[in-house]
Structure 1
Amino acid sequence: MAELNGKPVTLDDLQNLALTNYGHFTSMRMENGTIRGLSLHLDRLVRDCRIVFGVELDRQKTLEYIRKAAEGVPGVAGLRVTVFDPALDMGHPSDAKTPHVLVNLRPAGAMPPPPLAAKTFTFTRDNAEVKHVGLYPQLKLRRDAQLAGFDDAVFVEPDGRVSEGGTWNLGFVDQEGTVIWPEAPVLPGTTMLLLQDLDAPKQVTAPVQLSDVSSMAAAFATNVTIGVRTVSALDDVRFPQDHPVLAELRDAYAGIPGERL
């Protein structure tokens, strides 16, 4: 199901988005009419709209579109909000200043999914701080990783710093049980931000070189669709699947109350 500015979407409405692939989005997990980090998702949409289109997104109207699309939807569902301008002209993208709000709902999987193994690639996303719709590079590297026998890709800066996963934030646990978030160009994911606001366990943000990975006690992936997912391997480095800090993070995240739509 999809709605554009609160009305049923048509193929013509989506044509420009498909052909130009210019816009930004956020994805949420709705559980019985509530969303963890809803305010953070709205903050992201407003912030990214300034960067992508140079205009102020109407926060309240966007929330109303989300509420309308989600009305009457029971249980758990995935919800994506994409902001784009249907009138965008590839020759004059600077004229695109009337963003529309597309809301999609889809089934949501169980959380967390099984552990994943990731392969590293030297890569930095364009405008890493923006959740934009230009996903080709990430999906290409995810495909390459899967063809090599892994589940997903992890990005490494040219200077050797590990940054993030294909569509998720990456975290580590050191031998003392401290959570380390890599200091590098990454998307400020809502799940990561919610976890960083917890009182425990101890957490820091610091550079993690690829050469440091083998000394870590555990690794994990985070986003709204997977919660806290164990990373069982990074290249040829293996990690345990049941580290107590990951269980602590998972339980703490599950205990964060959702905001009602």
Structure 2
Amino acid sequence: MATLNGSPAGLADMQALALTNYGHFTTMVVEDGAVRGLALHLDRLVEDCRTVFGARLDAEWVRECVRRDVGGCEGRLTVRVTVFGPGLDLAAPDREVRPSVLVTTRPAGGVADPLRVQRLVYRRDVPAVKHVALFGQLWMRRRARLAGFDDVLFTGADGLVSEGCTWNIGFVDAAGTVVWPEADVLQGITMRLLRSAHGGHVTAPVTDGLLRSMRAAFATNTAIGVRPVASVDDAVFRTDDPVVTALREAYAGVPLDRL
């Protein structure tokens, strides 16, 4: 299902997004018409629209578009809200446009097994923006999966850990402190909610040595919540760590906001 500015989306409406692939988005899980961190998702869209298009986006209009699409649905759905400019093309990406709001849905996933990830050197373009240019990320995910891993974990040229393909990574050190990588990353909504709902978090440069000293690791994003990481390359972590369990419980306890 896809709607554009609150109405059914047609093929011609999607052409600019498909051919130019310039825009930004957020992904949220809607549970019986409610969302964890709804205000953070809307704030992200407003801020990224200012960065990507130099335009003002009405957060309440976005909310209304999502509400029209899934506000009355029961159960869990994964909803992606994409903001793009139908008037843009490759020759004139600087053209002033009125951004459009595309809402697409898919079934929400269930509980998944712990991840086994491979480190590869990569830095996303404009890391602070959740943009639609995903080729580089998916190319790296493909490489990792062809090598026998579940997913990819990015590092910088300096070897410092940054983020996963479409998720943030956190670690638990020997003392039980949650450690997030200090790097240019997309500040995920789930990560931000966890830092508010669960205490004892720090940020530090994650070197190979520090990574190998950690007792647990986990991935976070809206679709997966908190998912244990079983291994990074040949470094193995416990997947039943009580701190990771507490993080999952803390996330489950974050109040839902009605659309």
Q: TM-score, normalised by structure 1?
A: 0.97
Quote the residue 2:62 is aligned against: 62
The one-letter amino acid paired with 1:192 is M
Report Cα offsets for 1:80-114 as digits up to 9, x if no partner.
0000011112111110421100001110011x421
Quote the residue 1:241 is aligned against: 239
Match of 2:215 among 197, 217, 222: 217
Quote the residue 2:105 is aligned against: 105
Q: What is the root-mean-square deviation in Å for CA atoms of aligned residues? A: 0.9
Gaps (5+ residues) in structure 2?
none
SS at the partner of 1:95?
coil
- Contact 1:37-1:258 at 8 Å conserved across structures: yes
SS at the partner of 1:73?
coil
Query: Are 1:41 and 2:41 counterparts?
Result: yes
The one-letter amino acid paired with 2:178 is V
1:158 Cα shift? 1.3
Quote the residue 1:198 is aligned against: 197
* More displaced stretch, 67-76 vs 38-47: 67-76
Quote the residue 1:160 is aligned against: 159
1:199 Cα shift? 4.2
Rounded to whole Å, the distance in 2 between the matches of 1:89 and 1:109 is 34
Rounded to whole Å, the distance in 2 between the matches of 1:259 and 1:140 is 35
Query: Are 1:72 and 2:60 counterparts?
Result: no
For these two proteins, the number of residue pairs brought into alignment is 259
Rounded to whole Å, the distance in 2 between the matches of 1:219 and 1:125 is 22
Gaps (5+ residues) in structure 1?
none
What are the residue-to-residue correspondences of 1:74-153 with 2, within 5 Å?
74-110=74-110, 112-153=111-152
SS at the partner of 1:82?
strand
Rounded to whole Å, the distance in 1 between the matches of 2:236 and 2:9 is 46
Q: Aligned in 2, Cα 1:199/1:140: closer, same or farther, shift over 3 Å?
A: closer
Match of 2:252 among 231, 251, 254: 254
Quote the residue 1:185 is aligned against: 184
The one-letter amino acid paired with 1:177 is G
Rounded to whole Å, the distance in 2 between the matches of 1:89 and 1:150 is 37
Q: TM-score, normalised by structure 2?
A: 0.98
The one-letter amino acid paired with 1:160 is G
Rounded to whole Å, the distance in 1 between the matches of 2:223 and 2:148 is 23
1:210 Cα shift? 2.4
The one-letter amino acid paired with 1:235 is D
1:213 Cα shift? 1.1
- Contact 2:86-2:97 at 8 Å conserved across structures: no
Rounded to whole Å, the distance in 1 between the matches of 2:71 and 2:202 is 39
Rounded to whole Å, the distance in 2 between the matches of 1:219 and 1:132 is 26
SS at the partner of 1:176?
coil
Misfit runs of 4+, over 3 Å: none
1:130 Cα shift? 0.3
- Contact 2:144-2:151 at 8 Å conserved across structures: yes
Rounded to whole Å, the distance in 1 between the matches of 2:78 and 2:115 is 21
SS at the partner of 1:197?
helix
- Contact 2:145-2:151 at 8 Å conserved across structures: yes
Rounded to whole Å, the distance in 1 between the matches of 2:20 and 2:13 is 13
The one-letter amino acid paired with 2:148 is G
Rounded to whole Å, the distance in 2 between the matches of 1:213 and 1:47 is 32
1:206 Cα shift? 1.2
The one-letter amino acid paired with 2:131 is H
